[in-house]
Amino acid sequence: MKFSSKTIEEMIDILSTLPTIGRKSAQRLTLFLLRQPEEFIQKFSETLVKLKKDIKLCSLCFNFTETDPCPICSSPERNKELICVVEQPDDVLAIEKTNQYKGVYHVLHGAINHLDGISVSKLKISELLQRAKTAKEIIFALNPSVEGEVTIHYIVSLLKNYPIKLTRIARGLPIGIEIQYADDATLLNAIENRTEIK
């Protein structure tokens, strides 16, 4: 269906460019917004503008932040010689939720993906090489995809002459999954990446 208003159509076009939002959902959201009071729309649009204006990338780890460096990079509690490399800011949130990791992060903003036009220069790789000069260990926590694998492989090849420890997070059985219900690939990975009992 087509709306007679050009503005409504434009709004639907914009909203449907958002991830996981199809045209139908965009229509629903547009109609929802239309029914909201003036104050809500005011607040909504101000926040939207502020989001872009106030939030920037941390100049060290490239996570989203309002202050530069970000709270994690400027915290004296954090070990700056331990860098965990992730693909997206969401991954930082996920690891932070564990409350266990005491190092800092480096957000690449993706993984090498030629099909999606993500080349090496679009990722924060050269910045990572700079930081690696003063680090003792780099932990790779990229997604277990072929793109993630190749990105790790590529960065490791660039770091091969650095006096630094390179590690990656283990891939294995998720907690709570009984062995009989684990899928074969996960089980195989868990066996291949087994660790020694000391």
Partner 1 sequence: MHINQIFFENIRNHRQTKISFEPSLNIFFGPNGSGKTSILEAISIGTFSKSFVTKFDQNIVRNSTDYYALEISVERENHTPATIYVNYTIGKPKVIREENGQALTSQSLIGRFPTVILAPDMRGIIFGSPSFRREFVDRIIAQTDKVYLNKLYEFRRILKQRNKLLLEISKGNYVGFDLLHIWTQKLIETSVFIIKTRGNFVIKFAPIFEKCFTELTNSNEFASFFYSPFNNNEINAELLQANYSDEIINLHLRSEFEKNAKRELERGQTLFGPHRDDFTILLNNSTASCVASQGQSKSILVALKYAEINYLKNSKQTKPVVLLDDIFSELDLNRVNQVLNILNNLNLQLFITLTEIDLIKPILINFETYSLFKVENGIVSKLDLFHKSKV
Q: Residue numbers of the site for partner 1 (CB under 8 A)?
A: 22, 112-115, 119-120, 145-147, 149-150, 153-154, 157, 183-185, 188
In the block, tokens 């490239």 appear at 62
- Minimal distance, residue 186 CB to partner 1, in Å: 10
Q: Please give the helix or strand (H or E) that residue 139 lies within, else none.
A: strand 137-140
- Minimal distance, residue 119 CB to Zn ion, in Å: 24
Strand-by-strand arrangement of the 79-86 sheet: 103-107, 79-86, 137-140, 165-168
Site for Zn ion in 25-84 (CB under 5 A): 58, 60-61, 69-70, 73
In the block, tokens 């930081």 appear at 131
73 binds, among partner 1, Zn ion, none (CB under 5 to 8 A by kind): Zn ion
User: Cβ closer to partner 1: 178 or 184?
Assistant: 184
User: Cβ closer to partner 1: 154 or 162?
Assistant: 154
| Angle of CA points 6, 9, 10, to nearest 5° | 85
